[in-house]
Chains A and B, each alone.
Chain A
Amino acid sequence: MKRVIILLLFVLLLLGGFMIISKSIDSAGSFAKVTSTEFKSIPVPTEKWSSETWNAAGYYQNTFEEWVPEKKLDDYYAHRAYYGAPPHIPHPVSNEMTMGGKDCLKCHENGGYVNTYDAFAPVVPHPEKVNCRQCHAAVLTERLFKETNWNQDKRKPVRIHNHALEGSPPTIPHELDMRKDCLSCHAGPAAPKEIRVSHPDRVNCRQCHALNEQSKEIKDFYKELK
């Protein structure tokens, strides 16, 4: 009798073990837990709109709710060495063996709240590029090897209040290279507060917002009468 009970116990333990292992394998491939109630279920798009994915459009309806903690434009710039630089990775990276890919995208493809860092993961505007660690450097120490003259604080951010007329839609002051997905940076809780857009459900962004890349010098157009 006792043996049966002990055997039963072991079987239960084994079963339990199997269940826990399989569950944890499943959840390792799933998204980070989202605690905010603002989010509806994430629709997977069947077609991509150029590289302008709008998977965020369906659920970033209420961008003017106060998401805490808030991300500011300063935080955004703090991660980048100069205008247009790829941001460094501000959190520890667990898997050194991988180039990135699914390991990074599981949080950065759709974003979401991350408990451990008490922050919202930013959405990457170029998820088709899967060799993440090629451009995005991890930060393993704050100490420098030798002193440098590179002045991190004087990077010139682009002007954001750049509308041509009172009330007209602001122009796009930055290059679109690798930044074709407008909503990844301009909508949602991980978007810097100053550039969060009030109308993320309008997805034909380039209908109203003209590309006036600020580093380009393009002279005005006029002709001599002849």
Chain B
Amino acid sequence: MPIKSYLVHPMDGQKDQLIQKLEKIPFCELNPSTNEDIIVMVTDTSSIAEEKELEQKFEAISEIKNMALVSGFDI
């Protein structure tokens, strides 16, 4: 049941669309930066299966340029 936090970099000029797409995904909490093109995302899933599902969803989003994992807790 991992809790992970990421720094998400959107493709140039696609920050707002990315936020809209990520908002629809469950188990994701967003904290976008107000003056840079970076989004802090915290994911909180209750099982490994859900975690895998989430990862697949992320791969499908084309607006993500780069996702950097900052911290992860397996509880």
Contact = CB atoms under 8 A, between A and B. Distances in A.
A153 B37 CA distance: 12
Interface of B: 34-35
Nearest to B36: A153
Contacts of B35: 74, 153, 157
Nearest to B34: A74
Contacts of B34: 73-74
Contacts, number: 5
Contacts of A153: 35
Interface in A98-113: none
Contacts of A74: 34-35
Q: 5 tightest CB-CB pairs across the interface, nearest first? A: A74-B34, A73-B34, A157-B35, A74-B35, A153-B35
Interface string A53-97: 000000000000000000001100000000000000000000000
5 contacts: A73-B34, A74-B34, A74-B35, A153-B35, A157-B35
A86 B26 CA distance: 44
B66 to A, nearest CB: 21
A153 B35 CA distance: 9
B34 to A, nearest CB: 7
A73 B34 CA distance: 10
A82 to B, nearest CB: 15
Contacts of A157: 35
Nearest to A74: B34
A153 B34 CA distance: 12
Interface string A127-160: 0000000000000000000000000010001000
A83 B35 CA distance: 15
A74 B34 CA distance: 8
Nearest to A155: B35
Contacts of A73: 34
Nearest to A156: B35
A63 B35 CA distance: 25
A74 B15 CA distance: 15
A157 B33 CA distance: 14
